[in-house]
Amino acid sequence: MAVRASHHLHNLPEGLGVGVAFGGGEFYTAITLAIAIALQNLPEGLAVALPLLREGYSRPRAVLIAAATGLAEPIAGALGAIAANLARPLLPIGLAFAGGAMLFVVSDEIIPETHRRGFEDEATTGLVVGFALMMVLDTALGH
């Protein structure tokens, strides 16, 4: 079973977004964003690991492969932080690019996939719960 790279391309803008937020000096915003990305990475990792287990991979190997699919995030995060420090005036553009790329992936891949497989209610509930959680995090950690 091959893990499609296109399903994990969003890791680059996610890492970039977190790195740019940290590089921009907005600590509380960066922490909020990092927590949100980490929370959504948990079920994403399961979505990679569980099919691998079903295909006969050992648990350690399935976890290792699932973790490897997210390695682009810290690399992109470091690049984003460096770029933000070097080009502070471009910070709004970098954050807009990262946010737009994540929205594109959600609307182009994730929403159609959940609706094609008959999970419209669960997907909508997850979207609403995720949005509410982000508002709580923004309020609790915001300044």
Q: Is residue 29 part of a domain?
A: yes
Q: Which two tokens stand for residue 136?
A: 């709580």
Helix, strand, coil percentages (3-state) for the chain, rounded to 5, are: 85, 0, 15
Q: What residue numbers bound the domain in which 86 lies?
A: 5-102
Query: Tens-digit pLDDT profile for the chain (143 aa)?
Result: 455 555 567 788 888 888 888 888 878 888 998 898 888 888 888 888 888 999 999 999 998 988 888 888 888 888 888 888 888 787 788 888 888 888 888 888 878 888 887 888 888 888 889 889 988 988 888 75
Q: Is residue 116 part of a domain?
A: no
Q: Is residue 128 part of a domain?
A: no
Is the CB of residue 109 less than 8 Å from the CB of residue 101?
no
Q: Quick one: pLDDT at residue 57?
A: 93
Rounded to 5°, angle at Cα 108 from 105 and 101: 30
Whether this prediction's pTM lies above 0.85 is answered by no
Q: Is residue 123 part of a domain?
A: no
Q: Is residue 122 part of a domain?
A: no
Q: Is residue 49 part of a domain?
A: yes
Q: Is residue 78 part of a domain?
A: yes
Q: Quick one: pLDDT at residue 59?
A: 92
Q: Is residue 39 part of a domain?
A: yes
How many domains is the chain built from?
1
Q: Quick one: pLDDT at residue 58?
A: 93
